[in-house]
């Protein structure tokens, strides 16, 4: 899942980026309001983490502009102020969820997962596909009830495929979801991950659609 | 010695004064009554003596005394009134030839004539006047018992003074009642203040408060207002502080979680731990700055000592020598003139300069030149190669102001501390972009003369 993070505090931004990338999120981090605002239009993000107390351009105005321009990415707002009025103002401006400082990474991750699940029309905490069960929060994958060790990128690939069932996902889309701007991507990275996924979960887990991409079919 | 309360003192004062006035008036009245009574009775005695002295005592018959005594007895029985006046008539040999039948019986035959004298008659003091009869053959003595005179004086005095005594009692009662009533609002005020909870800073009720006390209640209300403003400042300061601490705490929490995730990756773990340390330093610095700010705020008594700016500058540049080397910055000093303030708290002066140098080092690129100058009644710290956008300049001294795009860890309090220390010493702070780079100047407020 690709996340856009806009946070001006160096240590918090760095911590969230590292903390989310570890389990396989791809995070683009911007500390300037204007740059972060533009970034949403440069890649397809699954969710946005937006700090309200941003210098340059304040978080609420960024959010309002996105919504006015028809962007519907789920937005999780971070703020140091915890008063009700501000929370209401944030939610009214189009925020999907709200998190007051100090928060823990686990909570950020849980809320992001909930937002992404909701966006993809999934309400159960676990995704079941044939004999594979995937838990987005714990990042664990089970084959016939037994846990299978997947790398973070393989997990992210499986997550992307399972959330977009019956849709053909091009190599570019998958790369976009798996890697942030900071990552160096080798040309066959997606093929390698698909290969590993098939080896671990069975050949049928993902089908190759010639010249178009990959699909997970019911 | 404990002072009696005002009401009691006034009461005692009025009672003492009234009683003294009353007593003085009483003594004067008593003297006056006695003189008047003496005068009256003396005149009466003289008149009686004169009348007796013109009588013809030659022809007095031997039985006359008995007839007179009988008449006197009858009168005495009919009327109890006794003016205690007696008389006696003596011939030249001292033989009593006639008397009033009662007291005159015991009068002495001899004595000075023509004037009053006090004589002992039957063991009582009598005032007696003797007069020669007109024919010069007899002596008439008219006397009155002094006790009777005193009784008359006393009666007169009592009747005269009684209304005044009642007046005095009424007056004193009225004074006590009035004082009690007048002091009731004050007592109520005191009671209100006594039971008032510490957080209640509403103004005192000034209804029924006498004008003389109003300056005091006004002053108390003014004090309440000032305390309230101070409390509000303190509260918002605490709220701001708590708010500002949230970010560093979040950073610590998040980095700690990242460290946990990276327990199996020594290189990443080390990197994260370093960030954690930086976060702790940042939080500690913030707490330090908050504490400094609250001390400047709350300190009323200012330590005033002559300041040695040369030493303060030397001390601060010494402290930052290492950080300056690391940033390849050069610190230059120019202490050639009068400072903005020459007396004050040396610790604060140093804290102010430390914040200025710290800021200059933090926010200037590597290889900059930082100059500290103390001259022309100004203290200026400039860093070359730095400029702050004009629209931000006026916000720089606000608390917790951190402009956008900051990559450096800062509390947003440094310049606020500088400007507040300057203000405490009667100085202003100015931020400007100059040919020498970005400069913060502390200078004495211009007198409006």
Q: What residue ranges do the domains of chain B occupy?
A: 6-156, 215-297, 305-447
Q: Does B267 touch chain A (CB under 8 A)?
A: no
pLDDT value, residue B448: 44
| Shortest alpha-carbon distance between residue A17 and chain B (Å) | 9
Q: Enter the DSSP assignment of A3.
A: E
Domain B6-156 sits in CATH at 3.30.450
- B74 pLDDT tier (thresholds 50, 70, 90): confident
Closest CA in chain B for residue A106: B257
| Shortest alpha-carbon distance between residue A79 and chain B (Å) | 9
CB A194 within 8 A of CB A156: no
B 269-288 residues with CB < 8 A to A:
272, 275, 278-279, 282
Which pTM was predicted?
0.62
Nearest to A9 among B247, B261, B268 (CB): B247
Q: Does B235 touch chain A (CB under 8 A)?
A: no
- Say yes or no for a CB contact (<8 Å) between A55 and B406: yes
- What are the residues facing B120 on neighbouring strands? B125
- Say yes or no for a CB contact (<8 Å) between B405 and A55: yes
Enumerate chain A positions whose Cβ falls within 8 A of a Cβ in B: 8-12, 14-16, 18-19, 22, 31-33, 54-56, 80-81, 100-106
- Distance between CA atoms of residues B31 and B28, nearest Å: 5
Q: Which chain A residues are Cβ-neighbours of B277 within 8 angstroms? A: none
Please name which of B385, B377, B360, B364 lies closest in space to residue B436, comparing C-alpha atoms. Answer: B385
**Cis ω before B98 (30° cut-off from 0):** no
pLDDT digits (tens, 9 = 90+) for A1-29: 899 999 988 889 999 999 999 888 999 99
- Say yes or no for a CB contact (<8 Å) between A11 and B272: no
Mutant choice from B404, B406, B409, B410 vs A, greatest count of A C-beta within 10 A:
B404
pLDDT digits (tens, 9 = 90+) for A66-92: 999 999 999 999 887 767 887 888 888
Give me A37's structure tokens: 């605002």
Average pLDDT over residues B144-167: 89
pLDDT value, residue A111: 92
- Distance between CA atoms of residues B359 and A189, nearest Å: 46
Spell out the CATH class of B215-297.
mainly alpha
- Distance between CA atoms of residues B230 and B300, nearest Å: 12
Closest CA in chain A for residue B260: A19
- Say yes or no for a CB contact (<8 Å) between B272 and A106: no
> Per CATH, which fold does B305-447 belong to?
Heat Shock Protein 90 (3.30.565)
Long-range own/partner contacts, residues B29-36 (CB < 8 A, 24 or more apart): B29/B157, B29/B160, B29/B161, B30/B153, B30/B157, B33/B153, B33/B156, B33/B157, B33/B160, B34/B149, B34/B153, B36/B156
| Shortest alpha-carbon distance between residue B210 and chain A (Å) | 47
The helix-helix angle for A105-119 and B214-261 (nearest 10°) equals 80
The helix-helix angle for A171-178 and A189-201 (nearest 10°) equals 90
Q: Which chain A residues are Cβ-neighbours of B279 within 8 angstroms? A: 11
Closest CA in chain A for residue B274: A11
- A57 pLDDT tier (thresholds 50, 70, 90): confident
| Shortest alpha-carbon distance between residue B249 and chain A (Å) | 6
Nearest to B403 among A33, A55, A104 (CB): A55
Place of tokens 């970005």: B438
CB B137 within 8 A of CB B150: no
Percent of chain B with pLDDT over 70: 93
Give me A131's structure tokens: 């004999």
Q: Which chain A residues are Cβ-neighbours of B404 within 8 angstroms? A: 8, 32-33, 54-56
Highest mean pLDDT among A62-71, A127-136, A196-205, B393-402: A62-71
Q: Is pLDDT at B53 greater than 60 in this prediction?
A: yes
* CB within 8 Å of A45: residues ≥ 6 apart: A2, A3, A4, A28, A73
- Distance between CA atoms of residues A69 and A61, nearest Å: 12
Range scoring the smallest mean pLDDT among B175-179, B338-342, B401-405: B401-405
């Amino acid at each position: 899942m690709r996340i856009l993070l806009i946070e001006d505090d160096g240590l918090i931004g760095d911590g969230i980026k590292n903390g989310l990338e570890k389990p396989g999120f791809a995070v683009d981090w911007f500390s300037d309001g204007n740059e972060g605002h533009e970034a949403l239009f440069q890649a397809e993000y699954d969710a946005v983490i937006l700090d309200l107390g941003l210098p340059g351009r304040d978080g609420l105005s960024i959010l309002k502009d996105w919504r006015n321009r028809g962007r519907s990415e789920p937005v999780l707002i971070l703020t140091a102020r915890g008063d009700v009025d501000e929370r209401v103002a944030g939610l009214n401006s189009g925020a999907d969820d709200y998190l007051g400082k100090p928060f823990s990474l686990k909570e950020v991750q849980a809320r992001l997962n909930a937002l992404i699940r909701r966006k993809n029309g999934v309400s159960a905490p676990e995704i079941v596909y044939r004999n594979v069960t995937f838990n987005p929060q714990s990042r664990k994958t089970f084959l016939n009830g037994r846990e299978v060790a997947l790398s973070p990128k393989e997990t992210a690939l499986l997550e992307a495929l399972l959330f977009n069932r019956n849709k053909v996902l091009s190599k570019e889309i998958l790369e976009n979801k798996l890697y942030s701007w900071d990552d160096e991507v080798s040309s066959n990275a997606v093929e390698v991950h698909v290969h590993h996924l098939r080896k671990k979960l069975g050949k049928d887990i993902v089908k190759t659609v010639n010249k178009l991409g990959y699909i997970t079919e019911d | 010695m404990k002072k009696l309360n005002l009401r009691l003192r006034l009461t005692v004062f009025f009672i003492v004064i009234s009683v003294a006035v009353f007593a003085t008036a009483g003594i004067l009245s008593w003297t006056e009554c006695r003189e008047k009574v003496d005068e009256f009775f003396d005149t009466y005695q003289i008149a009686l003596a004169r009348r007796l002295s013109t009588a013809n005592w030659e022809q007095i018959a031997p039985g006359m005394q008995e007839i007179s005594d009988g008449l006197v007895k009858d009168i005495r029985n009919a009327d109890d009134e006794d003016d205690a006046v007696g008389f006696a008539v003596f011939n030249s040999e001292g033989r009593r030839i006639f008397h009033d039948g009662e007291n005159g019986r015991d009068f002495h035959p001899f004595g000075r004539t023509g004037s009053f004298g006090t004589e002992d008659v039957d063991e009582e003091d009598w005032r007696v006047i003797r007069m020669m009869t007109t024919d010069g053959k007899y002596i008439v003595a008219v006397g009155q018992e002094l006790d009777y005179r005193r009784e008359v004086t006393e009666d007169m005095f009592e009747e005269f003074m009684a209304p005044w005594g009642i007046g005095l009692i009424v007056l004193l009662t009225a004074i006590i009642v009035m004082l009690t009533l007048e002091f009731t609002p004050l007592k109520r005020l005191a009671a209100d203040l006594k039971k008032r909870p510490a957080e209640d800073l509403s103004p005192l009720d000034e209804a029924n408060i006498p004008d003389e006390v109003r300056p005091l209640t006004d002053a108390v209300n003014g004090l309440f207002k000032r305390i309230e403003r101070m409390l509000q400042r303190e509260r918002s300061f605490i709220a701001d502080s708590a708010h500002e601490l949230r970010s560093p705490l979040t950073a610590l929490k998040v980095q700690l979680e990242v460290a946990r995730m990276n327990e199996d990756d020594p290189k990443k773990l080390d990197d994260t731990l370093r960030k954690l340390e930086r976060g702790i330093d940042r939080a500690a610095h913030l707490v330090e700055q908050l504490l400094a700010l609250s001390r400047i705020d709350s300190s009323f008594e200012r330590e005033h000592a002559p300041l040695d700016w040369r030493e303060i500058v030397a001390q601060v540049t010494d402290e930052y020598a290492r950080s300056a080397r690391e940033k390849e910055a050069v610190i230059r000093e120019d202490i050639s003139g009068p400072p903005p303030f020459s007396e004050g708290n040396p610790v604060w002066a140093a804290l102010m300069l430390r914040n200025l140098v710290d800021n200059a080092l933090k926010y200037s690129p590597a290889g900059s030149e930082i100059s500290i100058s103390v001259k022309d009644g100004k203290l200026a710290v400039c860093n070359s190669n730095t400029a702050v956008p004009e629209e931000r300049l006026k916000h720089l001294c606000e608390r917790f102001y951190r402009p956008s795009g900051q990559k450096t860890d800062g509390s947003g309090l440094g310049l606020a501390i500088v400007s507040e220390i300057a203000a405490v010493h009667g100085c202003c702070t100015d931020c400007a972009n100059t040919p020498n780079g970005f400069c913060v100047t502390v200078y004495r407020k211009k007198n409006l003369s």
